[in-house]
Amino acid sequence: MMKNMKSRERFSNGIIYAILSFLSFVWILPIVWLILVSFREEPGAYTAYIFPKSYTLNNYLLLFTDTKLFNYPRWFMNTLIVAIVTCAVSTIIVLLTSYALSRLRFKLRKPMMNVALVLGMFPGFMSMIAVYHILKAFSLTQSLFALVLVYSGGAALGYYISKGFFDTIPKSIDESAMLDGASKNTIFWKITLPLSKPIVVYTILTSFIAPWMDFIFVSVIMKDNYENYTVALGLFQMLSRENIYQYFTRFAAGAVLIAIPITLLFIYMQKYYISGITGGSVKG
């Protein structure tokens, strides 16, 4: 009886591992293909074979040396600046809003939360035409500052996840700190945030990824301001009919490079995220 149960368990585990292995293969195959294309010496977007016949580093080198038509270094720096500034502003806004809604009690608190929750369900691109005309009225279009405003302007609508985490931290900690003379500001920065490392990391990651990968808003706001393009919009220009044959392998190289910073950021911050979750928000 026990042998049969163990054999069935091994069989079911084997099926699960086989399915997970297959899914992992399907997931990683496009990434491997993209990396192979980035080193391919033969031009063109389509080939009848998977593995390149010859390899080269010129696709990566030309991204940074041949900048007359596609200024990839400038686009990369634009994307990095916008992502870092937006990440800092959005993270602070989200955490402050979430803490206020979690700890403070005031009139219209629940209606405000409900309205923000409903507004957050609508995709941002629904408002992009109105946003563009507002920016145009203030002469802010085609600038990196406009992108930062757009990406961080609605950050507070994503309060609910952070608020849910702050709700798990006992209010008795705040009350004890207030009895010792600590202000709300001190409690937030010196006590609550150190206990909320997982949600802080989560907020940083999501706030950084959004501007790093966005294409829709930057294409509407920047229009023909070539120098202020971000990587997403710049790489898309390489796929036009007149450029795709010559620049497709260079496009693949640029796509690989743009994935490296966000991958490194996630790998670096993942340990803090996991340690915070396994350790709990509050010990003792």
Q: What is the CATH number of the domain that holds 269?
A: 1.10.3720.10
Please state the pTM of the whole predicted model.
Answer: 0.83
Pick from 228, 215, 90: nearest CA to 153 = 90
* Confidence category of residue 274, pLDDT binned at 50, 70, 90: low
Tell me, what DSSP letter sits at residue 124?
G
Average pLDDT over residues 130-158: 88
What's the domain range around 117?
A: 60-279
Question: How far apart (Å, rounded) are the C-alpha atoms in residues 24 and 238?
Answer: 30
Q: Supply the pLDDT for residue 284.
A: 37
Residue 207 lies in a domain: yes
CB 252 within 8 A of CB 97: no
Q: Supply the pLDDT for residue 184.
A: 84
Q: Supply the pLDDT for residue 162.
A: 87
The token pair that represents 29 in the structure block: 């195959």
Q: Supply the pLDDT for residue 282.
A: 45
- Number of domains into which the chain is organized: 1
Q: For residue 54, which phi and psi values (nearest 5 degrees)?
A: -145, 150
Residue 217 lies in a domain: yes
Average pLDDT over residues 36-45: 90
Question: How far apart (Å, rounded) are the C-alpha atoms in residues 250 and 257?
Answer: 11
Residue 13 lies in a domain: no
Residue 234 lies in a domain: yes
Residue 11 scores a pLDDT above 70: no
Average pLDDT over residues 163-167: 88
Pick from 89, 108, 60, 21: nearest CA to 249 = 60
CB 205 within 8 A of CB 224: no
Q: Supply the pLDDT for residue 35.
A: 92
Pick from 72, 112, 282: nearest CA to 192 = 282
The token pair that represents 13 in the structure block: 């585990």
